[in-house]
């Protein structure tokens, strides 16, 4: 057995992009894609295409381009204490007071909007819905004055702000799920008012729904991919069966022609 020469060069190191990808590497990239889908950075078709690429990848170099245009998992998220509000220096000017009145009707304020310092909500034989979960808070204090007479007022706030109340129900319901934010600088929403033969409800909208929705979307895409694979497999099996039947018919026709030819020769 010969020994390598003392001065022999060591084999060149393998480039990082050529290292074989592990299951953990693929799962990490898949998590980034799931985050991007939940945040709207990818549509369902793009997400499905990239997930397929991830689980077919053999090396790290094949994984990296899949998320090259996406932030790292969790990297684009604001921290719990600062999500959803921008009060303080550099914040936009406070919005004017807003009135939401529903008389034998419905009034809704939701989506991405600038929350004013004061909101007045009146429901008389009607319903008012105020959703602050996607709102921008130019100021720290927000006061919501509610009056529900034979009507209802429903208020939803982000989970990471403080929610307080001062109100009462007269032959009605005034329910506010008070909540203290972990961040001392988080906005505070104060709900005041009363309900007469009506209802007022205010509570945080739990942030867990985002993961639930993302998981449902991911599960739906996985079921769709499985359904497409099953349909492809069934179609492939059907084509093979049709080919076998065609070949069998072709053989039968050739045997018949050969038998007729032999019979004619014998005659």
Are 170 and 233 part of one and the same domain?
Answer: no
Are 198 and 120 part of one and the same domain?
Answer: yes
Assigned domain for 134 exists: yes
Are 136 and 172 part of one and the same domain?
Answer: yes
Block residue for tokens 């419905």: 106
Assigned domain for 255 exists: yes
Assigned domain for 90 exists: no
Confidence of residue 86 (pLDDT cuts 50, 70, 90): low
Confidence of residue 210 (pLDDT cuts 50, 70, 90): very low
Are 29 and 111 part of one and the same domain?
Answer: no
Sequence-ordered list of residues with C-beta below 8 angstroms from that of 165, at least 6 positions apart, any chain: 174, 176, 178, 190, 191, 192, 202
Are 142 and 180 part of one and the same domain?
Answer: yes
Domain end point (choices 183, 206, 229): 206
Are 102 and 148 part of one and the same domain?
Answer: yes
Check residue 77 and give its pLDDT: 42
Tokens of 127: 């319903």
For the chain, count helices (H), then strands (E): 4, 10
Structural domain for 43, as ranges? 17-67
**Averaged over 210-235, what is the pLDDT?**
64
Assigned domain for 81 exists: no
Are 113 and 201 part of one and the same domain?
Answer: yes
The pTM assigned to this predicted structure is 0.47
Assigned domain for 7 exists: no
Sequence-ordered list of residues with C-beta below 8 angstroms from that of 211, at least 6 positions apart, any chain: 38
**Model confidence pLDDT, tens digit, residues 48-65:** 788 888 888 888 888 888
Given a cut of 50, whether residue 80 has pLDDT beyond it is no
Block residue for tokens 């203290």: 180
**Averaged over 7-28, what is the pLDDT?**
72
Check residue 89 and give its pLDDT: 47
Assigned domain for 75 exists: no
**Model confidence pLDDT, tens digit, residues 144-167:** 999 999 999 999 988 878 889 888
Are 176 and 146 part of one and the same domain?
Answer: yes
* Torsion-angle region of 208 (φ positive above 0: left; ψ -120 to 50: alpha; else: beta): alpha
Are 123 and 154 part of one and the same domain?
Answer: yes
Tell me which DSSP letter residue 67 carries: G
Q: Which residue has the higher pLDDT, 196 or 12?
A: 196
What is the SS3 string spanning 156-176?
EEECCCEEEEEEEEECCEEEE
**H helix runs in the chain, sequence order:** 23-39, 44-56, 60-63, 208-266
Are 245 and 200 part of one and the same domain?
Answer: no
Are 60 and 126 part of one and the same domain?
Answer: no
Are 217 and 175 part of one and the same domain?
Answer: no
**Model confidence pLDDT, tens digit, residues 24-47:** 788 788 878 877 776 778 877 787
Q: Which residue has the higher pLDDT, 132 or 124?
A: 124
Q: How many distinct structural domains can be found in the chain?
A: 3
Assigned domain for 126 exists: yes
Domain end point (choices 162, 179, 206): 206
- Confirm if 128 and 106 have CB atoms less than 8 A apart: yes
Assigned domain for 76 exists: no
């Amino acid at each position: 057995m010969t020994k390598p020469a003392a001065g022999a060069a060591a084999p060149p190191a393998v480039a990082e992009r050529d290292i074989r990808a592990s299951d953990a590497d693929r799962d990490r990239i898949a998590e980034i894609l799931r985050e991007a889908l939940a945040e709207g950075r990818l549509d369902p078709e793009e997400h499905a295409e990239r997930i397929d690429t991830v689980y077919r990848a053999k090396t790290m170099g094949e994984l990296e381009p899949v998320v090259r245009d996406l932030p790292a998992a969790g990297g684009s998220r604001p921290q719990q204490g600062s999500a959803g509000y921008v009060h303080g220096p550099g914040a936009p000017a406070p919005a004017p007071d807003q009135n939401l009145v529903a008389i034998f009707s419905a009034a809704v304020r939701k989506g991405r909007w600038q929350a004013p310092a004061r909101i007045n909500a009146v429901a008389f034989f009607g319903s008012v819905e105020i959703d602050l979960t996607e709102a921008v808070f130019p100021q720290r204090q927000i006061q919501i004055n509610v009056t529900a007479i034979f009507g209802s007022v429903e208020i939803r706030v982000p989970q990471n702000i403080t929610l307080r109340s001062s109100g009462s129900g007269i032959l009605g319901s005034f329910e506010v799920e008070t909540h203290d934010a972990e961040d001392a600088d988080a906005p505070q929403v104060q709900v005041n008012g009363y309900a007469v033969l009506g209802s007022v409800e205010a509570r945080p909208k739990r942030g867990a729904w985002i993961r639930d929705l993302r998981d449902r979307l991911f599960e739906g895409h996985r079921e769709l991919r499985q359904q497409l694979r099953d349909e492809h497999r069934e179609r492939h099996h059907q084509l093979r069966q049709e080919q076998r039947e065609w070949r069998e018919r072709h053989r039968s026709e050739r045997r018949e022609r050969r038998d007729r030819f032999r019979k004619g020769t014998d005659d």
